Structure 1
Amino acid sequence: MGHEIAGTVVEAASTDYANLVGTAVVVNPLETCGACRACRTGFPQRCDEGRLIGVHRHGGFAEFVAARASNVLPVPVGVPQTLSSLVEPLAHAFHDVRIASSDGLPEELLIIGAGSIGIFALLAAQAAGVSDLTVIEPDPGRQALAASLGAVAVGTSQELEGRQFDVVMEGVGLEVTRSVAVDRARRGGTVVLVGLAQPLSELGFMGAVVREIVLRGAFAYTPSDFDDARAYLADRGLPPQIIIDTASLESGPEVFARLGAGPQVSLKTVLVPSNAA
């Protein structure tokens, strides 16, 4: 596990990359073939051979992790190394917004879920110029966070009943939230499917077909998305309302148990190996 990674290069497999040793870097965990049509045209996230460090092989929940030299990038200027691990989820958010803007920047955007996916998507959408942002989220603490970051309307699905949107971004991945996403898209609108909580779910396609709803998947990121995320953190940093905790790598099981109990005050917890302290 562990695909959101920042660290220091301690060894290079080739003298060609010896200059990287000692460099603080973030890791783009997406490893692709580099030769297929998707890779050659700038869409490596669509590579059939694509694999993620921390998903398809052991990742950053360790003292050491191996990564291709082409997949390591300098940490954002002025950003602590611990927070630099957030480049990866922020890059995903920039990609989500890029997909949501496939037919032009949306005038209004509904984000379903105010966990890390939804909150980072909110920041990325604001950076892209979307000002009319609404968030559906049941947890009061997360509702308050989304509102403090500039969402014009925040509430539960029931509280925000009735309004429909040009673009809906589903950041949870449950059958019920996917269904809500389709219901809240106006005729001819777009639903961007991001959340992966449930790999399988039923969806009422009759409504999507009759109302000509466009369904778009959004997965991982392009190199440009990673560059945008690094630049965002270097230029703006994270808003002070967003709390990021740190904990030792050894305390990982306790951290995951706490996260599994429900939403926390912190948006993310970064696990730090003892040798990085």
Structure 2
Amino acid sequence: MKSITVQQPEKLVIEERPVPHPQKGEVRIRVASAGICGSDVHIYRGHNPFARYPRVIGHEFFGHIDAVGEDVETSRIGERVVGDPVVSCGHCYPCLVGRPNVCAELQVIGVHRDGGFSEYVTLPAKNAHVVPDSIPDNEATMVEPFTIAANICAQMKPGPLDTALVYGAGPMGLTSIQALRGVYGVKEIIVVDRIDERLEMAKANGADRVINNTNLDLKTELEKLAIRPTLIIDAACHPSILPEAIGLASPAARIGIMGFSSEPCVLSQQAITSKELTIYSSRLNSNRFPLVISWMAERKIQPEKLITHQYPYIQVIEAMELFEKDQKQCCKVLLKF
């Protein structure tokens, strides 16, 4: 089979590998399409602290089960499925309290073990989620990105009383906007970014108001508009954002952090406690695949709006570079196998 492998930072190849055999409790997926994520680029560039090389990357993938291991029903062969990349032990404290995404022995497909940028991939049978025929292949490939938004929203519990501020109109921000609008029905969504084209994408995905903060002070701008956000999502993850968000937030607001920077930031305890703010962090997803599949089936979200480019997998380097460099026109890129 052909697999896209990062042999070491800055060295990506398409190589021939043996077709894997599913182990006990596993299934094998014949991959049809896979999405490029920023973390794939980070592994390629050597900026992901969790990756070990060589690594077949890719954690957003869709295909069909074509083989099963011991203790898996053969009736599963032929199912249309998406793969949850979170592989957990099931018995540590985080797993027992329903947070396998931070399992003490966490393995992420495409990071700690070989991923879906390959003609075939194996994974635990419970990680392969059936997709109904009503969801087209390309949209099915987008389930995993929306589980990131589903995970933070499950913690923050948005609602119709909320005025939401979303930092960043990249894929994480756009999936969050769609969830806030189509699933949770928040009152107003404001999106801030420094790229006008991304802000146009935000409006197309449900934002009510967009702000380019390249040359303005966001606090002053929101005060002019008499806006006090009750729910703030940081989908840009720059260390300057959280201190600013704490200052902008309404009393009793919730702030959610969707990623991480290794750079430190300085926070004021008084600013947090005086308004009794709640700060959430979110990593990957915690069994959110069935939820997102139901959102898609019920047309509460429109994943096709995020897909801007498609490439055959043999053009993966061109596709990765486009995703990395063209932030004005490119949102999600799919590789076809």
**TM class by smaller structure:** 0.7 to 0.9
Q: Tell me the residue number matched to 1:84.
A: 140
Say if 2:163 is the partner of 1:117: no
Q: Tell me the residue number matched to 2:267.
A: 204
Change in Cα spacing, 1:239 to 1:132, as seen in structure 2 (3 Å) is same
Higher mean C-alpha displacement, 116-125 vs 249-258 = 249-258
| Contact 1:25–1:74 under 8 Å retained in 2 | yes
Distance 2:124 2:305 in 1: 35
| Contact 1:112–1:181 under 8 Å retained in 2 | no
Which of residues 282, 288, 294 in structure 2 aligns to 1:231?
294
Q: Tell me the residue number matched to 1:213.
A: 277
- For 2:123, what is the secondary structure of its paired residue? coil
Structure 1 residue 37: Cα displacement: 3.4
Structure 1 unaligned regions, length at least 5: none
Q: Tell me the residue number matched to 1:130.
A: 186
Q: Which runs of 4+ in 1 moved over 6 A?
A: none
Change in Cα spacing, 1:143 to 1:91, as seen in structure 2 (3 Å) is same
Distance 2:187 2:296 in 1: 20
| Deviation by residue 1:143-183 (Cα, 9 ceiling, x = unmatched) | 11222333221112336443431121100111133333223
Change in Cα spacing, 1:23 to 1:79, as seen in structure 2 (3 Å) is same
Q: Tell me the residue number matched to 2:319.
A: 255
| Contact 2:80–2:132 under 8 Å retained in 1 | no
Structure 1 residue 47: Cα displacement: 2.0
**Aligned positions of 1:171-190 closer than 5 A:** 171-190=235-254
Structure 1 residue 210: Cα displacement: 5.0
| Contact 2:256–2:279 under 8 Å retained in 1 | yes
| Contact 2:161–2:187 under 8 Å retained in 1 | no
Distance 1:178 1:171 in 2: 11
Distance 1:241 1:89 in 2: 13
- Name whichever structure is richer in strand by fraction: 2
**Aligned positions of 1:154-173 closer than 5 A:** 154-157=210-213, 158=216, 160-162=221-223, 163-173=227-237
Name which one, 1 or 2, has greater alpha-carbon Rg. 2
What amino acid is aligned across from residue 21 of structure 1 in structure 2?
I
Structure 1 residue 211: Cα displacement: 4.4
Q: Tell me the residue number matched to 2:329.
A: 265
What amino acid is aligned across from residue 109 of structure 1 in structure 2?
A
Distance 1:226 1:98 in 2: 13
- Structure 2 length as normaliser, TM-score? 0.73
Change in Cα spacing, 1:264 to 1:58, as seen in structure 2 (3 Å) is farther
Distance 2:139 2:118 in 1: 17
- Name whichever structure is richer in helix by fraction: 1
| Deviation by residue 1:180-236 (Cα, 9 ceiling, x = unmatched) | 32232123422111133x23332333543554432210122222x211210111221
Structure 2 unaligned regions, length at least 5: 1-56
Give the alignment's Cα RMSD to 1 decimal. Answer: 2.2
Which of residues 193, 212, 219 in structure 1 aligns to 2:257?
193
| Contact 2:323–2:331 under 8 Å retained in 1 | no
Percent identity of paired positions between Structure 1 and Structure 2: 23
Structure 1 residue 262: Cα displacement: 3.4
Which of residues 61, 82, 86 in structure 2 aligns to 1:26?
82
Change in Cα spacing, 1:176 to 1:18, as seen in structure 2 (3 Å) is same
| Contact 1:31–1:50 under 8 Å retained in 2 | yes
| Contact 2:199–2:211 under 8 Å retained in 1 | yes
- Structure 1 length as normaliser, TM-score? 0.88
Distance 2:76 2:160 in 1: 38
